[in-house]
Each structure stands twice: as C-alpha cells, then as structure tokens.
Amino acid sequence: MFRARIGLLAAIALVIAACGGDGGDTTTTAAPTGEETTISQSEETTTTEAMGDPIRVGIITSTSGALQGYGNQYLAGLEAGLDFATDGTGAVNGQAIEFVISDDGGDPEAAISQATELVGQGVSIIAGTVVSGVAVQMAGFAEENNILYISGPAASDAVTGVNANTFRSGRQSYQDVATAASLVETDGGTVLVYAQDTEFGAANVGAVEAVLGPRGFTVDSLLVPGAETEFTGYSDQINQAAPDLVFVAWAGETSGAMWQAMNQQGVFDTAPVATGLADTVTWPFYGEAATGISFLSHYFAAAPDNPVNDFMVENVDVADLFTPDGFVAAQMIVQALTEAGPDDVEGMIAALEGWTFEAPKGTQTVRASDHAMIQPMFTARLVDNGGTLEGELLGTLEPDATAPPES
C-alpha cells in the first residue's frame, strides 16, 4: 500500500516547479550549507507560554544554490504557519517548537548527512526539501531511522506512498499535470515534455504519460542537463520536432534564460506551450505571450479566498509559489505534536493520516492510504496592470479532481 484548449490560445500553461517573511514573533537566519540555525519564539513568549524543554524540529531545505528562492519562500511560510497553528505562542502542550534549519544546497548527500546529525541529537521530525532528488533520499532515511518526515515543495510522485514515515506538505507532479489536462479539450496528438534531466523532470515525464497517454497522446521528451545555461539549440530542437503540444517542466534560476530562448526562437508559433505559473520573479520572462496564456497554478496569492490565506498573506513579506508549503508543514507538525508528542512516531503518523484541515489553498486532506496531499489546484492568467503583471484566477479545481491514483 505504501510502496487546451489547443489552437484556441497561443499557449496553455501548467505550474511545474520545485521571500523571506515576517512571521509574528519568530526570526529566521539562513545558515551556510551544512550549518544550522534556529527559529524560536521570543524570550517573553517562551517564558509565559512554554515552560517545558523546547521540541527541536529539523528543517532541511535549500537556502543556497539554484533553488534557494523556493527554500526562502518555504521558510517564510513555515514561520507564519507556526504562528497560526499555535495561536501565536509557538508552543504545543507547554513546549516551545524550535526549528533547526540546515541548508542542503540541493545536494542529497548533504541532506542525509545533516539528517543523520539531527537524529543523533534526538530530533524525531524533519521537514523541508525543495529538490525532488533530496526528498526521495530523505524518504528512505526516514523509514530506516523511524522518524516523521514531511517533504516540502519537492514534487516527485515517488514520495507519495513510499513508506509510512513520509508525508508531503505540497503538491506532486501528477496534480500539476492533471490540472493542465483540464485545459486541454481535444484528445490525441504528440506531446513533447521539455524538462531538466533531474528527478523532478523525470517525474513530470511520467506524470504526462499517466494523464495524457490514456487520452491518445504520444509522449516524447527533451531533457536538458540541470546545469545548462544556453537554451537556443534546445529551442530549435523543439521547432524541428513540431509537436502538437509542448509541456515545460522547469525549476530554478535558469527559468528566465530558458523562456527568453523559447521566445526568441519562435517556439510559441510552432506549438501550444504548457508550462507553469511559477514564482512571481519569473513572470516577466514569458515575454509578449504572458497575457495570452492560460496557466495551471499550484498557488498564487490572489487564487484562494479564505481566512487562512488572508492570515498568511498578511504575515509574510510576499506570499509566493511555495509559501503555503511551509505554512502547511507547520500545521502538520503542530497537529502531530498535539496528538502524540515527539517521542511517539507511530502516534504522530496516525495523527496525520486522514487529517482534513483548512490551509491557505482551502480544505486539504492527508490521504490515509498513501499520504498524498489532496488539495485544490488552480488555473490562472496574467494581466497587465499599469505595466505590472498580476495573477488572475480563472478557475479552482476541487481536491478530488486532481487526486493521484492511490499507491
């Protein structure tokens, strides 16, 4: 158990990816790779609200490297989520929660080394991770060491159902692709998945095959080395292939150069392009096509309309793509500790399985059978407001509409 509207628009888009914030009484300082820092409540709060020893929770994520922006969004949400879930006390059952933050730099080896050190110090909960390759390795580590692991923005489908110890606070690739499929009204044709040659890219190829394959689409892929910075030749390869749909799965700081190359080489004239409404810094890179695209979106600040989202938006500097992943992680940590406590891993797992709660995106459920995070997803477009691009909601897909098959 644990184991387009094609032709109607110039392009269709899907969110495919994987900041700092002000979260109440908490403060964050990013440590260099491999070093630790902490987030804890103020001295006054700790004294008045939390009389016991603090509960140390490991947070392993990227605060340097290509995905550091995602890591910073996650940490901002984590602070705000802790404030929300504990009514501002930062404490559970009389004990303060102390986040011990380690920068994995996107390196699975570094992440495992940091996790090993944390477990040796008695830490029984680890969360974070924006890199799918890190998350897959951390999931195995969690089972071997019998700790609770809550993956963050890392989208690989392989994390869902891998073992009883592993959960996720964000979405997964299948949910991205299923949301994208809601915009594709015709069946049949060829899809070219243009992605980085990483665990994340491979997960998206698999998800496209799983979702669009049964609808008669033939799926091919063009995978680019993760360290590549020159994309003109790859854009030319897309033009030469002339697929019926291009599906872009991209993450990190090279997004701008990739989109610029696609615009310059006229890829949008060759075929409809499916990609994601990524974090706000990337929006200008869509170029002239930006306002003519219908996007799939994991999250943008104007998409949900609920009090939890209002709280998060008000308590971070910028609510961006992966801010809710950190916020939800804090909610899950508080739920697990409230119901069981840090010394009862099996109890914490049971407290999360089947849990339904209100999150920034809306009502979410941790599916008991495989720990998939069932959640709303969005479609969106960009509008030009006086020279500034802003996200505008097109539609909300209910959680069951994009739920992955049970493992």
Q: Which amino acid, residue 127?
A: A
Element (H, E) at 393: strand 388-397
Within this chain, do residues 195 and 310 fall inside the same structural domain, yes or no? no
Are residues 387 and 256 part of one domain? yes
CA dihedral 396, 400, 403, 407 (to 10 degrees): 170
Domain identity same for 139 and 230: no
Q: pLDDT tens-digit profile of 241-280?
A: 999 989 898 887 888 889 889 988 999 889 888 778 988 9
The reply to whether 191 and 226 lie within a common domain is: yes
- Exposed, middle or buried, 35 (CB in 10 Å: 0-12/13-18/19+)? exposed
99, 211: one domain: no
Written as six digits, the tokens of 185 are: 């009204």
Confidence of residue 96 (pLDDT cuts 50, 70, 90): very high
**CATH number of the domain where residue 208 is located:** 3.40.50.2300
Other CB atoms within 10 Å distance of the CB of residue 67: 28
- 180: pLDDT confidence band, cut at 50, 70 and 90? confident
Is the pLDDT at 105 greater than 60, yes or no?
Answer: yes
Enter the pTM of the model: 0.84
Residues 186 and 149 in one domain: no
Residues 6+ apart with CB under 8 A from 43: none
Tell whether 146 is covered by a domain: yes
Asked if the structure places residue 23 within a domain, the reply is no
Residues 369, 392 within the same domain: no
Strand order in the sheet with 388-397: 11-12, 293-297, 377-385, 388-397
- On the 0-12 / 13-18 / 19+ scale of CB atoms within 10 A, 27 is middle
Q: Is residue 26 part of a domain?
A: no
- For the residues 180-200, what does the mean pLDDT come to? 90
Q: Residues 125-135: pLDDT tens digits? A: 999 999 999 99
Residue 274, φ and ψ in degrees, nearest 5: -105, 120
Q: Which of 63, 65, 70 is nearest to 170 (CA)?
A: 70
Residue with tokens 């380690």: 102
Q: How many helices (H) and strands (E) does the chain have?
A: 12, 18
In this structure, are 273 and 391 located in the same domain? yes
Helices (H), 182-265: 199-212, 232-241, 255-264
**What is the separation of C-alpha 40 from the centre of its chain, rounded to a whole number of angstroms?**
24
Whether residue 28 lies inside any domain: the answer is: no
Do 51 and 76 have their domain in common? yes
Cβ atoms < 10 Å from Cβ of 37: 17
The span from the first CA to the last CA of the chain, in angstroms, equals 6
Q: Which of 384, 12, 300, 11 is nearest to 182 (CA)?
A: 12
Query: From its phi and psi, is residue 176 left (phi > 0), alpha (psi between -120 and 50) or beta?
Result: alpha
**pLDDT band of 36, cuts 50, 70, 90:** low
> Is 407 part of any domain?
no
Please check whether residue 107 lies inside any domain of the structure: yes
Residues 275 and 194 in one domain: yes
| Structure tokens given for 357 | 């709660």
pLDDT band at residue 300 under the 50/70/90 scheme: very high
More confident residue, 362 or 30: 362
> Helix (H, G, I), strand (E, B), or coil: what is residue 44?
helix
| pLDDT tens sequence across 323-332 | 999 999 999 9
Q: What is the pLDDT of residues 331-340, one digit of tens each?
A: 999 999 999 9
DSSP 276: B
Euclidean distance between CA atoms 264 and 166, whole angstroms: 43
Number of domains in the chain: 2
CA-wise closest residue to 146 among 326, 348, 368 = 348
3-state percent breakdown (helix, strand, coil) of the chain, nearest 5? 40, 25, 40
Q: Give yes or no for a contact between 171 and 372, defined as CB atoms under 8 angstroms apart.
A: no
Q: Is residue 251 part of a domain?
A: yes
Q: Helix or strand or coil: residue 262? A: helix
Q: Is 22 a member of any domain?
A: no
Nearest-10 Cα torsion for 241, 242, 246, 248? 40
370, pLDDT greater than 60: yes
197 and 145 in a common domain: no
- Same domain membership, residue 241 and residue 389: yes
CA distance 29 to 88: 20
Amino acid at 102: S
Q: Print the domain residue range for 65.
A: 36-171+304-374
